């Protein structure tokens, strides 16, 4: 079972599993913990509890570091939920629930750290103007599209290739 204390001992494996170094992970952890605490508070105020706080079965992902590790591994590797569950000792349905719950929290944490990619093309021009030594590589593949039925519109979408390879 993957846990943060065990995985952080091997920096190379940690980087390959999460896409972050241990110091980068630890820098993101406070923002994620804050987002987690806000989510817990929101859920607690949303409905009346039937049992006391802390009652019930203890979660396998009980530390916020393990929760952050779980969601980062998922987004880095994109394994099947069954495989992700096997990594962390969860069933497929529990894995799905954790993914659904932790995804918006990760996005909130990355947003508060200003690590989300920009969606505005104007910022690229500002970035290029600020740094004259930046080099970029675009890795793209041509993908098939659904061609329109209208002949004139089809011509606009024609790539020049013959038939697709199967």
Computed over every residue of the chain, the mean pLDDT equals: 85
pLDDT band, residue 166 (cuts 50/70/90):
low
Specify the length of the chain in residues. Answer: 166
- Average pLDDT in the 53-67 region? 86
Instruction: Report the percentage of the chain scoring pLDDT > 90.
Output: 52
What integer pLDDT is reported at residue 154 of this predicted model? 80
Rounded Cα distance between 150 and 38, Å, is 52
**Is the confidence at residue 143, as pLDDT, over 80?**
no
What integer pLDDT is reported at residue 62 of this predicted model? 87
- CA distances to 123, 128, 136 from 133, rounded to whole Å, are 17, 9, 10
DSSP alpha helix (H) spans, 47-140:
64-77, 81-88, 92-112, 122-130
Rounded Cα distance between 19 and 115, Å, is 13
- Average pLDDT in the 121-139 region? 69
pLDDT band, residue 165 (cuts 50/70/90):
low
**94, 31 Cβ separation under 8 angstroms:** no
- Average pLDDT in the 100-112 region? 92
């Amino acid at each position: 079972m993957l846990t943060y204390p065990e995985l952080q001992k091997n920096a190379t494996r940690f980087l390959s599993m999460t896409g972050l170094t241990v110091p980068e992970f630890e820098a993101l952890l406070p923002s994620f913990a804050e987002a987690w605490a806000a989510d817990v508070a929101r859920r607690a105020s949303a409905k009346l509890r039937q049992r006391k706080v802390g009652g019930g079965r203890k979660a396998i992902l009980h530390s916020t570091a393990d929760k952050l590790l779980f969601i980062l591994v998922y987004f880095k590797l994109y394994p099947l939920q069954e495989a992700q569950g096997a990594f962390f000792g969860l069933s497929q349905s529990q894995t799905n629930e954790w993914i659904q719950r932790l995804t918006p929290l990760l996005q909130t944490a990355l947003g508060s750290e200003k690590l989300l990619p920009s969606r505005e093309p104007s910022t690229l021009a500002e970035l290029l103007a600020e740094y004259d030594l930046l080099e970029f590589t675009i890795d793209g593949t041509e993908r098939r599209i659904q061609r329109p039925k209208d002949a004139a519109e089809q011509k606009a979408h024609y790539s020049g290739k013959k038939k697709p390879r199967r």
